[in-house]
């Protein structure tokens, strides 16, 4: 069996039944016996892919067979499933918020800044000028306000710490790559246990307040791709050994260049282009997609 389909649901709502698995198997003509990775949550189904079908076509067949059940589907080669490099977006991926929108909320500008964020993440406007425009509106925010946002407004996405810690335990290198700000990525990378982080730099005046500028060049879509390629070269890895996850248009080049690029609760344009997508599960779906069983997880508090 050269391919494997992994079905995953939200672990807080374990709806993956034997009946659903049987319906998925019936969408194939040559499937092996299912192997449960976590009862009610994740299962592997090995099969041979009939040419000229592609993985995306098979995923669509599975989704049709599941008939709207809240289950995510991954289809990939059996060989090389476990990745040696993880690159993850931060905002709305490893955390539940957009940091820049949370800062804007502190100064009464959430609506106008969040609208720009949404358009940039959908790919309707270029990321770099959109970031500069939003940062200009944050002029005058002090470090105490930023620290308060980090402490009180930012929540970790469920499953994130288990994802990072389990991959690191199994020899992978992990990097948090964000179009947000390093003052946030430093805190989040530390809490989740990433090996490194890269992000944009907010600039401050002599009074410790933002001066309305970000350091150039702005880290956007091409910079995220460059980070992936640079880390691959530095670690001596091939494309197939890499995993990337994100939700916005500025993640697309990174997702497309990874061995497995996954859209997480993503904007439509991103979900359509990524190799796979997570619409229902949490970030531990990325572990199940690599064939990890639940008992192999390094569990951590994602609060």
For residues 156 and 191, the answer to whether their CB atoms sit within 8 Å is yes
Nearest to 179 by CA among 96, 232, 121, 261: 121
| DSSP strands (E only) in the chain | 3-9, 35-38, 42-47, 71-77, 85-88, 173-181, 196-200, 202-204, 210-214, 242-246, 260-264, 276-278
In the residue annotation, 301 being an active-site residue is answered as: no
Q: Could you give the 3-state DSSP secondary structure of residue 138? A: coil
Residue 289, SS3 per DSSP = coil
> What angle do the packed helices 160-169 and 182-192 form, to 10 degrees?
70
Say which of 89, 101, 247, 282 is annotated catalytic: 89
Structure tokens at 259: 């061995």
Residue among 248, 2, 218, 207 at smallest CA distance from 122: 248
Residue 101 has a CB neighbour count (10 Å cut-off) of: 21
Distance CA 196, CA 86 (A): 11
Alpha carbon distance 210, 207 (integer Å): 9
Q: Has 89 been annotated as catalytic?
A: yes
CB 243 within 8 A of CB 260: yes
The answer to whether residues 246 and 266 touch, using CB atoms and an 8 Å cutoff, is yes
**E-strand spans in 132-216?**
173-181, 196-200, 202-204, 210-214
Tell me which of 10, 72, 91, 101 is the catalytic residue.
91
Which residues form the catalytic set?
Answer: 89, 91
């Amino acid at each position: 069996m050269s391919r494997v389909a992994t079905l995953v649901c939200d672990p807080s709502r374990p709806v993956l039944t034997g009946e659903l698995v049987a319906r998925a198997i019936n969408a194939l003509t040559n499937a092996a016996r299912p192997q449960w990775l976590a009862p009610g949550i994740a299962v592997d189904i090995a099969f041979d892919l009939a040419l000229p079908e592609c993985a995306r076509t098979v995923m669509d067949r599975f989704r049709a067979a599941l008939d709207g059940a809240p289950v995510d589907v991954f289809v990939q080669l059996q060989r090389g499933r476990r990745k040696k490099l993880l690159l993850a977006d931060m905002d709305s991926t490893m955390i539940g918020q957009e940091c820049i929108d949370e800062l804007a909320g502190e100064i009464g500008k959430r609506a106008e800044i969040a609208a720009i964020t949404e358009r940039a993440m959908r790919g309707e406007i270029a990321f770099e000028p959109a970031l500069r425009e939003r940062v200009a509106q944050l002029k005058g925010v002090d470090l105490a306000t930023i620290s308060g946002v980090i402490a009180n407004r930012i929540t970790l996405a469920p499953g994130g710490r288990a994802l990072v810690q389990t991959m690191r335990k199994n020899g992978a290198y992990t990097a948090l790559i964000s179009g947000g700000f390093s003052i946030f990525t430093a805190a989040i990378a530390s809490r989740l246990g990433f090996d490194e982080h890269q992000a944009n730099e907010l600039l401050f005046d002599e009074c410790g307040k933002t001066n309305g500028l970000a350091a150039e060049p702005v880290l956007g879509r091409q910079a995220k791709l460059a980070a992936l390629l640079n880390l691959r070269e530095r670690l001596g890895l091939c494309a197939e050994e890499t995993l990337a996850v994100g939700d916005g248009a500025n993640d697309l080049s990174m997702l497309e260049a990874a061995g497995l690029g996954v859209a997480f609760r993503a904007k439509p344009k991103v979900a359509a282009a990524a190799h796979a997508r997570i619409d229902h599960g949490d970030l531990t779906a990325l572990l199940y997609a690599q064939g990890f069983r639940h008992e192999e997880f390094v569990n951590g508090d994602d609060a």
